[in-house]
Amino acid sequence: MSARQPRFNQQVLLDTTPLPDDIPKVSEIGASSAPLLSASYFIGARCKPYNDDYMVCKTESNGRGEIDCLKEGRKVTRCAASVLEDINKSCLEEFRRHWACLEQNNQQLWQCRRPETKLNACVFDKLTLEKTIPGTPENETPVHLRKRQIYSQNW
């Protein structure tokens, strides 16, 4: 047995050091995982150049990416926030149905294909963003576009 007594620290630590002026200010998105998953392919479609710049920066910074790539990371966050804002303005009802379904079904996309189809159609019609799954073979129909789906529920 150890003679050391356990110590528990219940304080919240805040770093009040301001960021340098050359790093753009951006507020946090403030969304839970279900809305982010629901919009993730659309965020990927619109924000691909910013995501690529961020990943190149992280690769080239040799382990210091969190510090050296703050500017690129802020651009990614700002772009993702703009996509969520546009989806909320244009397709709010479809978006809410889809992420609520994800929330109720343990974030499993296959269980929410019906609301996803309606969301994809709305976002394509109003924002011209199309869902594409990276790495899908070219000669195969993507899983979300297949004619015969397995629905777990009648949403």
pLDDT at 133: 73
Residues in the chain, overall count: 155
pTM above 0.85, yes or no: no
Is residue 97 within 8 Å of residue 118, measured between CB atoms? yes
pLDDT at 130: 82
pLDDT at 152: 55
Backbone angles phi, psi at 89, to 5 degrees: -75, -40
pLDDT at 23: 72
Per-residue pLDDT of the chain (155 residues; tens, 9 = 90+): 567 776 666 777 677 777 777 777 778 788 889 999 999 999 999 999 999 999 999 888 887 767 788 888 889 999 999 999 999 999 999 999 999 999 999 998 888 888 988 999 999 999 988 877 777 778 877 666 667 766 556 55
| Separation between Cα atoms, residue 125 and residue 146, nearest integer Å | 20
